[in-house]
């Protein structure tokens, strides 16, 4: 098994209320991606493979990192459709979409629970299908040779960690909300399993001049 470093995309359009308008990096998101790429080169991080989802924000982040590695695009690494699911929950259960950032802390686990319990008619995929596709994708990446970078999204990263650590929906949601843009999360093979050995690392942003550039919204 190979080591995998999961990377959340750079900051996207934080004012969006639907999937399409969210799926592009902000100016800061582009800078975050470049800074991460610079850090990986400066520290001579050894990675031989690069994977991304097929979403624009994943591709823009990987391109901005400029690793020199040819990317493999895999739709199984795409994010859960939070805006779509949230709109279904509002339409079908009268639970409104948050209007203030602190409300997301309670809203996300509600969305995940309704989704898991098949209470969102018309969801683009079931919760079990989402869990299966990310499990299968990571298993295939780990089975091949060489350490890999995987540029994806915060919700997916949280669920991968949740699978490995057997976290509850509530704990998985808290994990997702905590994840910074362009943060690194490393899974290392231990005893035949992928174990988290690094979480939410942002060494490329941990300087006084970039203190305000560390974002999770």
> How many domains does one find in the chain?
1
Output the CA–CA distances (angstroms, integers) from residue 90 to 31, 83, 108, 169, 213, in the order listed: 35, 10, 13, 20, 32
SS3 category, 152: strand
- Structural domain includes residue 163: yes
pLDDT at 13: 85
Q: What is the pLDDT of residues 94-112, one digit of tens each?
A: 999 988 878 889 999 999 9
pLDDT at 125: 98
- Structural domain includes residue 171: yes
Residue 191: both structure tokens together: 């005893």
pLDDT at 102: 82
pLDDT at 91: 97
pLDDT at 21: 86
Cα–Cα distance measured from residue 6 to residue 162, given in angstroms and rounded to the nearest whole number: 14
What CATH number does residue 71 fall under?
Answer: 3.40.50.1240
| Block mean pLDDT (10 aa), the chain, length 217 | 97 83 94 98 97 98 98 98 96 92 90 97 98 97 97 98 96 96 97 94 96 91
Q: What is the pLDDT of residues 137-150, one digit of tens each?
A: 999 999 999 999 99
- Structural domain includes residue 217: no
Run of H or E residues at 36: helix 27-42
- What is the phi/psi pair of residue 41, to 5°? -70, -45
Q: Which domain holds residue 101?
A: 4-203
- Structural domain includes residue 209: no
Residue 143: both structure tokens together: 């089975």
pLDDT at 157: 98
pLDDT at 18: 81
47 with 148: CB under 8 angstroms? Answer: yes
């Amino acid at each position: 098994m190979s080591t995998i470093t999961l990377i959340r995309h750079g900051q996207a359009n934080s004012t969006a209320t639907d999937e399409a308008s969210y799926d592009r990096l902000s100016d800061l998101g582009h800078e975050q991606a470049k800074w991460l790429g610079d850090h990986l080169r400066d520290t001579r991080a050894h990675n031989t493979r690069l994977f991304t989802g097929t979403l624009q924000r994943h591709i823009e982040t990987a391109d901005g990192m400029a690793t020199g590695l040819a990317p493999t695009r895999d739709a199984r690494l795409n994010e859960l459709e939070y805006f779509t699911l949230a709109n279904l929950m509002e339409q079908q259960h009268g639970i409104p979409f948050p209007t203030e950032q602190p409300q997301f802390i309670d809203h996300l686990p509600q969305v995940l629970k309704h989704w898991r319990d098949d209470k969102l008619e018309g969801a683009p995929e079931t919760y079990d299908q989402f869990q299966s596709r990310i499990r299968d994708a990571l298993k295939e990446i780990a089975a091949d040779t060489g350490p890999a970078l995987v540029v994806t999204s915060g919700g997916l990263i949280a669920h991968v960690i949740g699978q490995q650590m057997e976290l509850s929906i509530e704990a998985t949601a808290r994990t997702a909300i905590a994840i910074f843009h362009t943060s690194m999360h490393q899974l290392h093979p231990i005893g035949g399993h992928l174990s988290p050995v690094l979480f939410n690392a942002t060494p490329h942003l941990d300087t006084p001049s970039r203190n305000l550039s560390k974002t999770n919204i």
